Amino acid sequence: MSKQQLVVLGQSAGECCPGLLTAPLDEDQADTLAKVFKALGDPVRLRLLSMIASRAGGEVCVCDLTPAFELSQPTISHHLKLLKQAGLIDSERRGTWVYYRLLPEMTDRLAAILTRPAGAAS
């Protein structure tokens, strides 16, 4: 995710209580946020993200992700690249393999964006 995207999402998240449910998003905020949700809008990417996020130790080798899918290594790598571009995961190459980890700042931000302001709960 670009620095610009982080800035825009940061603005929409405000100090604590963000924008989606509390005020109309402007076009820039909507463009940025839509890219992240689009990255989540695919079942393979959601399964990859859940495998990475739930792994004890916080890191998963791509070699442990691929066998869970009936998809080619390049296809899996493409999905991982989209999750990384959305700011949801990061990666590090060590030796032969690439290791992936969750960037919880982004999922925290999305959770905040989707949380109703205090007092609005039914």
What is the contact surface with a second copy in residues (CB under 8 A)?
A: 19-25, 27, 30-31, 33-35, 37-47, 49-51, 53-54, 68, 102, 104, 107-108, 110-112, 114-116, 120-122
Q: How far is the CB of 3 from a second copy (least distance, A)?
A: 20
Q: How far is the CB of 53 from a second copy (least distance, A)?
A: 4
Measured from the CB atom, is 47 or 84 closer to a second copy? 47
3-state DSSP of the chain: CCHHHHHHHHHHHCCCCCCCCCCCCCHHHHHHHHHHHHHHCCHHHHHHHHHHHCCCCCCEEHHHHHHHCCCCHHHHHHHHHHHHHCCCEEEEEECCEEEEEECHHHHHHHHHHCCCCCCCCC
Measured from the CB atom, is 20 or 76 closer to a second copy? 20
CA distance 42 to 33: 16
Measured from the CB atom, is 66 or 93 closer to a second copy? 66
Q: How far is the CB of 46 from a second copy (least distance, A)?
A: 4
Measured from the CB atom, is 37 or 97 closer to a second copy? 37
